[in-house]
Amino acid sequence: MPMLNIGLLGYGFAGATFHAPLIGHSGRTALSAIASSQAEAAAQAWPEARIVADLDALLADGGLDCIVIATPNDTHFEFARRTLAAGKHVVVDKPITLSAEEARILARTAADSKLLLAPFHNRRWDGDFRTVQALIASGRLGHITHFESHFDRFRPAVRQRWRENAASGGLLYDLGPHLVDQALTLFGAPQNVSATIGTYREQAKADDYVHLQLGYADKQVVLHASALSALEAPRFTIHGRRGSYLKTGLDSQEDQLKAGLRPGQLGWGKNPPGLIREVEGELDLRGELATLDGAYVEFYRALAASIQDGAPFPVTVDAAVGVAEILELARQSAAEGRRLPYSAIGW
């Protein structure tokens, strides 16, 4: 089976740490070209890839099937729009855009061109999230009434990087897309959105605290991210009518990629268990629940299967637009200090 040839735009943190290793180790995709100002680092790490100057060079390469946009957030819309206009499939790192209307424009453009627009919501393949999906689907906790998801880190010093600038959208648009996408994947669209967004670190130029509440008729969903959490809250807290589940610690794959470990190597995607309590009548069971392995590489395997085999891609354009709408509403809610109704507009 021929490899799907991919061009990577951007070899900063996202490109070098996530995209390049996953593309190169999926077994179905080939990192054929890289466009980056960090040409020397890219060439040293990926000698088999052609190193080119910019997006124009990638778009002019007739051998590339798909372009991955791994550049600063405020460039995503224009670069993705140009890629689709050139007739190439496109993966866009999260957030897909910084506005819901831009996401809708890209969605319509991709549909009209019969091209795949793939949002890089890789954390659907976190081991703990895969475990949560399976647990909720099993019904072991009964009807879910409270779901809480945290991405907490301790980074008190503001670093000189584009993610720390207001133009990036701050923490809301850095970790918010993952939190919201996971919630929408589990429960669908909420009825309302409430958010508190703050900037609390000294010399910070963008928000570093995000607290979202998604309201449903039968449950509450809390999504939280902070750069000032020296002691982390549980990653997931789930309460249902028949039990509860707690999981601490972030999925291991990001740290493994940073350390140079690659998919398929010993220990890849392994995570410690969570805690579960199931109560029904006189039955009261407490213990550990094994965590499924993380599997980020499945994103790129699914990409190849979609483009080459016509299989449905698991992260839909509808999902990307929905995430953009929720994030935009969260920003408005925080500014106005009130809970706002949500009705999906779509594209």
- The answer to whether residue 214 is domain-embedded is yes
For residues 117 and 138, membership in a common domain is answered with: no
The rounded mean pLDDT for the chain is 96
- pLDDT on residue 198: 96
Residue 160: pLDDT above 90? no
291 three-state secondary structure: coil
Q: Residues 146, 149, 154, 160: is their CA dihedral positive or negative?
A: negative
In angstroms, the CA 22 to CA 281 distance is 47
Q: Once rounded to an integer, what is the mean pLDDT over residues 300-306?
A: 98
For residues 136 and 103, membership in a common domain is answered with: no
In angstroms, the CA 195 to CA 214 distance is 9
Query: Rounded to the nearest 10 degrees, how much is the dihedral formed by the CA atoms of 247, 252, 254, 260?
Result: 170
Q: What total number of domains does the chain contain?
A: 2
Residue 347: pLDDT above 90? no
- pLDDT on residue 339: 98
The 10s digit of each residue's pLDDT in 218-235 is 999 999 999 999 998 999
For residues 221 and 242, membership in a common domain is answered with: yes
- The answer to whether residue 321 is domain-embedded is no
Q: Which of 236, 50, 279, 212 is nearest to 130 (CA)?
A: 236
Percent with pLDDT over 90 in the chain = 92
Burial of 196 (0-12, 13-18, 19+ CB in 10 A): middle
Q: Residue 187 corresponds to which amino acid?
A: F
Alpha carbon 272 to its chain centroid, in Å, reads 21
Q: Which residues of 180-300 form beta strands (DSSP E)?
A: 192-198, 209-215, 220-226, 236-240, 243-247, 274-280, 283-289
234 three-state secondary structure: coil
Do residues 106 and 81 make contact, with C-beta atoms less than 8 angstroms apart?
A: yes
The 10s digit of each residue's pLDDT in 284-297 is 999 999 999 999 99
Do residues 224 and 180 make contact, with C-beta atoms less than 8 angstroms apart?
A: no
For residues 133 and 275, membership in a common domain is answered with: yes
- The answer to whether residue 318 is domain-embedded is no
The residue to which tokens 């010993």 are assigned: 266
For residues 140 and 185, membership in a common domain is answered with: yes
Looking at the DSSP bridge assignments, the partners of residue 289 are 274
The 10s digit of each residue's pLDDT in 1-30 is 799 999 999 999 999 999 999 999 999 999
- The answer to whether residue 234 is domain-embedded is yes
Q: φ and ψ at 229, to 5 degrees?
A: -125, 90
Least confident of 188-197, 198-207, 317-326: 198-207
Residue 173: pLDDT above 80? yes
* 93 CB-near residues (< 8 Å, 6+ apart): 14, 19, 68, 69, 70, 71, 76, 120
Residue 299: pLDDT above 90? yes
Enumerate the H helices of 38-152 as residue ranges.
39-45, 55-59, 76-85, 100-113, 127-138
Burial of 265 (0-12, 13-18, 19+ CB in 10 A): exposed
Alpha carbon 8 to its chain centroid, in Å, reads 18
- The answer to whether residue 41 is domain-embedded is yes
In angstroms, the CA 202 to CA 200 distance is 7
For residues 286 and 302, membership in a common domain is answered with: no
- The answer to whether residue 320 is domain-embedded is no
Instruction: Give the confidence band of 167 by pLDDT, cuts at 50, 70, 90.
Output: confident
- The answer to whether residue 347 is domain-embedded is no
For residues 177 and 135, membership in a common domain is answered with: yes
Query: What range does the domain containing 134 cover?
Result: 123-293+326-341
- pLDDT on residue 329: 98
